[in-house]
Amino acid sequence: MPDYDPNNIFAKIIRGELPCHKVYEDDRVLVFLDIMPRAPGHALVIPKNAARNILDVDPDDLAHVARIAQKVARAGMQVFDADGITVQQFNENAGGQVVFHLHMHVIPRKENVAMKPPATEKEKPDVLADQARRLAAAMQTL
Ligand code: AMP
C-alpha cells in the first residue's frame, strides 16, 4: 500500500488550508458535508490523525470515527426526516476510494429514492451551509 500523502484534500481541510462545511469537531475527528452529496445531508467523518484507510488507521481512531458516525446518523435521521442511513467506507482504488485519508460516508436516505451517482453534482454552498448548521445543532442534542 502506498504511504499516506499529507497533501491529500482532507489533510488540507484538517489543517485549515481548505474550507469545509463543518458539522462537528473534537480532538480526534472532524465531520463535514460532502461537496458532491449523493443525497441531502451526506456527511463525511474523518480522523484528525493521518490514516490512509482502514488498513493503516489506529484502531482507537477508527472506533471513535464509528462512534461519531453513529451520532451523525442519528442527527441525519432527525434533520432530514430520513427513513434510513447508508454508511459507506472505501479502501484503496480497487475498493472505490478516491480521497486517500480515511473517511466514513453517512448518507440520509428516503424510501424509494436512489442515491445520486458519485461525484456528479456540486451542491450550492448556501445549501450546504444551512444543512451543516442544522446537523451541528442536532448533534449537540445527542
Ligand atoms: P471516496 O474516496 O470514494 O470515498 O470519495 C471521496 C468523497 O469526497 C466523494 O464523495 C467526494 O464528493 C468528496 N469530496 C471530494 N472533495 C471534497 C471536498 N473538498 N469537500 C468535501 N467533500 C469532498
Residue 20: name the closest of 107, 135, 139 by CA: 135
125 touches ligand 1 (CB under 6 Å): no
| Structural contact between residues 49 and 69, judged by C-beta atoms closer than 8 angstroms | no
Place of cell 480522523: 47
Alpha helical stretches, state H, the chain: 9-14, 59-79, 125-140
CA 63 to ligand 1 centroid distance, Å: 21
From 8, 10, 34, the mutation candidate for ligand 1 (largest count of ligand atoms within 8 A of CB) is: 34
CATH class of the domain comprising 9-140? alpha beta
20 touches ligand 1 (CB under 6 Å): yes
Number of alpha carbons in the 13 Å side-chain half-sphere of residue 3:
3
Residues near 16 by beta carbon (within 8 Å), at least 6 away in sequence: none
Q: Give the pLDDT score at 139.
A: 96
CA 111 to ligand 1 centroid distance, Å: 24
> Block means of pLDDT (10 residues each) for the chain, length 142 residues?
96 98 98 98 98 98 98 98 98 98 98 94 97 97 90
97 touches ligand 1 (CB under 6 Å): yes
| Catalytic annotation, pick one of 42, 64, 101, 103 | 103
Q: Give the pLDDT score at 120.
A: 85
Which amino acid, one-letter code, is at 84? G
pTM of the predicted model as reported, rounded to 2 decimal places: 0.98
Residue 105 annotated as catalytic: no
96 touches ligand 1 (CB under 6 Å): yes
Number of alpha carbons in the 13 Å side-chain half-sphere of residue 66:
8
